[in-house]
């Protein structure tokens, strides 16, 4: 049985870093929203980092990926780039 997971990554002015691995997109988005609230409080400035949600299959090597972008909305206060990884 294949297992998919979501890798939450943030890209800021100083590069990228993985924030966590999640079972589904909803929990990854919730973590990103919580993280952004903490960052805004600590920096006391506008939060402009970019979030990536990588949909991957555990134990497989991806041969490519497709991208979709979600803009800010009432349900998603942050914008996300979702990368669905492709496998042979």
Residue 41 CB neighbours (<10 A): 9
| Structure tokens that stand for 37 in this block | 């609230």
Domain hosting 9: range is 4-86
Each residue of 68-87: pLDDT tens digit? 987 666 566 688 999 999 99
| Residue count of the chain | 88
Q: The whole model's pTM is what?
A: 0.81
pLDDT-based confidence at residue 53 (cuts at 50, 70, 90): very high
| Structure tokens that stand for 88 in this block | 């042979």
pLDDT of residue 88: 86
The total number of structural domains that make up the chain? 1
Place of tokens 């909305």: 73
Strands (E), 1-88: 4-12, 15-22, 50-57, 64-70, 80-86
């Amino acid at each position: 049985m294949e297992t998919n997971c979501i890798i939450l990554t943030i890209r800021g002015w100083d590069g990228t870093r993985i924030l966590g691995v999640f079972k589904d997109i909803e929990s990854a988005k919730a973590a990103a929203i919580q993280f952004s609230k903490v960052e805004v409080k600590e920096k006391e400035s506008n939060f402009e980092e970019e979030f990536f949600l990588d949909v991957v299959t555990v134990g497989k090597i991806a041969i490519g990926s497709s991208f979709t972008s979600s803009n800010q909305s009432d349900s998603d206060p942050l914008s996300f780039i979702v990368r669905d990884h492709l496998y042979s």
